[in-house]
Amino acid sequence: MSTEDQVDDPIIVEPHPPTEAFLSGAYRRIQLAIAVATAALAGPVFYLWGWRVGGGFLLGAGLAYLNFLWLKQSIIALTDSINEHSPPTRSRVVVFKFIFRYAVVGVVAYAIISSSSISVLALMAGFSLSVVALLFEAVAETVHGLRHGK
């Protein structure tokens, strides 16, 4: 028997509605985690280090939130353009928007860094809140999987 004739049986995984419902809420939970972390940390940051650090932190957190929203929109547009076999001009627009998102964040970060009126480290700390939110989501999904065995 040749290797072409050997076909592995596909693995069929039955959907588990409670798990599907939980996982479909990941985007909303990540957004909420960024907002909650920003709200919880902004006050202490302003109190302990003043307006320059607090402002940098808030600006970084705002950029993180905006970047996360744009990332979702970019991924949806990119997958839609691939799945629908849209014309090349549509695909170019999607790729341009995807790259433009990074350019906007880079220009804003450069302006803040070069102006030195706002703390760069605080900006980076605020911008990293999306990573913190993703870690919270990973823990939530792990706990959910362990509890429900799926």
**More confident: 24 or 3:** 24
Task: Please tell me the distance from the alpha carbon of residue 40 to that of residue 134, in angstroms, as a whole number.
Answer: 17
What is the average pLDDT value for the chain, to the nearest integer?
Answer: 83
| Domain residue ranges in the chain | 22-148
Choose between 59 and 93: higher pLDDT: 59
The residue type at 71: L
Residue with tokens 């980076």: 124
Among 2-11, 117-126, 137-146, the range of highest mean pLDDT: 137-146
| Percent residues over pLDDT 90 in the chain | 34
Q: Give dist(CA 104, CA 146) in Å, integer.
A: 40
Interatomic CA distance for residues 48 and 27, integer angstroms? 32
DSSP 88-102: HHHHHHHHHHHHHHH
Confidence (pLDDT) at 29: 95
What does the pLDDT look like over 23-73, one tens digit per residue? Answer: 889 999 999 999 999 999 999 999 999 988 998 899 899 989 988 988 888
CA distance 141 to 77: 26
> For residue 147, how many other CB atoms are within 10 A of its CB?
8
**What pLDDT score was predicted for residue 85?**
61
Higher pLDDT, 113 or 100: 100
